[in-house]
Amino acid sequence: MAADGSSFLLFLTVGLLQFFIPTGALHTVGSLPLDTVTFYKVIPKQKYVLVKIDTQYPYGEKQDEFKKLAENSASSKELLVAEVGISDYGEKENSELGVKYNVEKDDYPIYLLFINGDLENPVRYTSEINQDTIQQWLKSKGVWVGMLGCLEEYDSLAMEFRSTSTQEGRQKIMEKVKAMVQETPESEQKLAEQYHKIMSKVLVQGDSFVRSEIARIGKLLGESKMSSTKKMELQKRQNILSSFQIPSIVKEDL
């Protein structure tokens, strides 16, 4: 009975602590909670920080997508994922950050990407709250995050390929990829081959092939009559194709 009583007391204590601890102490795996003090200490020291500004106690599908994104950020050496919880009552914790970045309650959650410690000009994410879509957006900004189907070493070669202007230079990269495929573990060879095939298509059709193929796959993914296996294969291909897009560094309006 004593043991049972102790267990119940521990359970009750933990539950009460979770209820009364401020938002900053509530932990999402892979994400760093920030407040009005730590925000200005952390961001200037990082190359890339993706900050989610949200209600103090977020929940639901959008929060589930953030949890997946935060956990998957472990695959990136350069990206730090953080979150700011804003309180609407009492002392209204962190509300000044919401004012600074023009975030309204009805907009929650808002994602801001801070680059090279620039606190004044973050890039604002404006599309659907979906892990894959956000990761593709990050990739378009030059931030590598492991996406379904993508291989980091091959993603680097894809970036080198797209930034090379001559056919001869691109041909050499493609030959390097072809040789690497043979040395790639069997479990990843089909994915590695996708990079080589895309390079071949680009050499023949030009860079427009990537844009048109991404658009084509996007339409297919929007169809309901498709098996989950087929959908996953298309998502992998779309993710790999996104590695061949030129990163956008244009600052979006806040």
pLDDT tens track, the chain, 254 positions? 444 544 444 344 334 434 444 444 457 999 999 999 999 999 999 999 999 999 999 999 999 999 999 998 988 889 999 999 999 887 889 999 999 999 999 999 999 999 999 999 999 999 999 998 899 899 889 898 888 899 989 999 998 999 998 999 999 999 999 999 999 999 999 999 999 999 999 999 999 999 999 999 989 988 768 888 998 999 899 999 988 986 654 445 45
Q: Which of 140, 162, 186 is the last residue of a domain?
A: 140
230, part of any domain: yes
CA distances from 194 to 128, 157, 207, 234 (A): 27, 13, 16, 12
Per-residue burial over 208-234, b if 16 or more Cβ lie within 10 Å, else e, is ebbeebbeebeeeeeeeeeeeeeeeeb
Residue 247 belongs to a domain: no
Residues 88 and 191 in one domain: no
Domain end residue (candidates: 140, 168, 184): 140
98 and 175 share one domain: no
Is position 132 within any domain? yes
Which helix H or strand E contains 15, and what residues bound it?
A: helix 2-20
- Structure-token match 């009364």, residue found: 20
Tally of domains within the chain:
2
198 and 132 co-located in one domain: no
Same domain? 124 vs 208: no
Burial class (CB in 10 A: 0-12, 13-18, 19+), 198: buried
Q: What is the pTM of this model?
A: 0.70
Residues 186 and 161 in one domain: yes
Q: Are residues 87 and 37 part of one domain?
A: yes
- With a CB cutoff of 8 Å and minimum separation 6, the contacts of 13 are none
Say if CB 151 and CB 81 are below 8 A apart: no
Look up the domain containing 232 and give its range.
Answer: 152-242
CATH number for the domain that contains residue 211: 1.20.1150.12
Residue after which a domain boundary falls, among 140, 163, 178: 140
Q: Per the domain annotation, does 146 fall within a domain?
A: no
Judge if 161 and 202 occupy the same domain.
yes
Question: Cβ–Cβ contacts within 10 Å for residue 36, how many?
Answer: 13
Task: Assess if residue 65 is contained within a domain.
Answer: yes
In this structure, are 118 and 220 located in the same domain? no
Quick one: 167 and 41 in the same domain? no
Is 213:194 a contact under the CB 8 Å cutoff?
no
105 and 53 share one domain: yes
